[in-house]
Amino acid sequence: MTTNSFSVRGGGRQRVTAVKACSALSFARHSHDEYGVGLMLAGAQRSWSGRGHVEAFAGDLITVNPGEVHDGMAIGDSRKWAMLYLDTDKVSAIAADIHEGKRSETEFTRPVLQNVVAAHRFAAAYAAHERGNEDAMDEQLILLLAGMLGDPRTSRARAPQSIDQVKERIDADPAADHPLDELAQISGTSRFKTLRGFAALTGLTPHAYIIQRRLDLAKALIRSGVGLAQAGSEAGFADQSHFHRTFVRRFGMTPGAYAAAMR
């Protein structure tokens, strides 16, 4: 099980993207702008995230929240997994349905879950997505998420407002240049304290966060039908080869493969 293979299926109006992968690759710290729920099909994986260090084995469900920084590496030679990435609006709608119209902030509280029934529901939802049967997929997703989504259990320590302002500046225009000196001026602290505070808030240094947000922007542009070269350029990647390499390193697939799946 050492071959690296990835298949991606876009969700269209379903707002769900399916990914199936078999890989020995190690993924650097990154995040997604969607919710992710998946099933380890073979092998095992070790990862770090804001919810701690976790290990997942064949049969385990794995989850990730939007914007949650994490990495991943195989335990042993390789591992195989399937994922469903869910648009935040879709999850909000499902959560509102589960909670009878009461909208509240929801998140996956457990990064790894051992539950045979939930694993079967995930497999059924994934199979329905592959068939293009949205009604069947939604039924299984509602049943699956009802047992996995919850309100945040602990209040996260608030970052200083000045660090929030640094993040807001980057989020407002990730394609622009954001030198550390200027970010430190925004925070009103030294470059070191800006780095330390930003990493505590996001799990990434400002530079790494900028790259992540540029990748998020590029993915959104690709989903909207923008060509690969234009998407990379508009997202702030001056060098297309750098865009290609960074995309593959973070997501395990080429921008072209992602674009084909979204079509």
Burial class (CB in 10 A: 0-12, 13-18, 19+), 159: middle
For residues 165 and 127, state if they share a domain.
no
Asked whether residue 156 is domain-assigned, the answer is no
For residues 29 and 134, state if they share a domain.
yes
Asked whether residue 90 is domain-assigned, the answer is yes
For residues 22 and 136, state if they share a domain.
yes
Asked whether residue 209 is domain-assigned, the answer is yes
Tell me the CATH number at 250. Answer: 1.10.10.60
Question: Can you give the pLDDT at residue 218?
Answer: 95
- Total domains in the chain come to 2
Question: Can you give the pLDDT at residue 148?
Answer: 85
For residues 174 and 142, state if they share a domain.
no
195, pLDDT greater than 60 = yes
Q: Quick check: helix, strand or coil at residue 35?
A: strand
Asked whether residue 111 is domain-assigned, the answer is yes
Burial class (CB in 10 A: 0-12, 13-18, 19+), 5: exposed
Question: Can you give the pLDDT at residue 75?
Answer: 94
Question: Can you give the pLDDT at residue 154?
Answer: 41
pTM value is 0.74
126, pLDDT greater than 90 = yes
Per-residue model confidence as pLDDT tens digits over 105-120: 588 988 999 999 999 9
Tell me the CATH number at 49. Answer: 2.60.120.10
Instruction: Give the integer Cα–Cα distance in Å for 198 and 182.
Output: 14
Beta bridge partners of 72: 27
What is each CA distance from 113 to 38, 91, 109, 132, in whole angstroms? 10, 19, 10, 27
| Domain boundary pick from 105, 120, 150 | 150
Question: Can you give the pLDDT at residue 156?
Answer: 47
Phi–psi pair at 58, nearest 5 degrees = -50, 130
Asked whether residue 155 is domain-assigned, the answer is no
> Which domain, by its residues, includes 102?
5-150
Phi–psi pair at 203, nearest 5 degrees = 85, 0
What percent of the chain shows pLDDT beyond 70? 91
Tokens of 10: 């876009």
Per-residue model confidence as pLDDT tens digits over 148-185: 886 544 444 556 788 999 999 999 999 999 999 999 99
For residues 187 and 139, state if they share a domain.
no
Instruction: Give the integer Cα–Cα distance in Å for 74 and 79.
Output: 6
235, pLDDT greater than 90 = yes
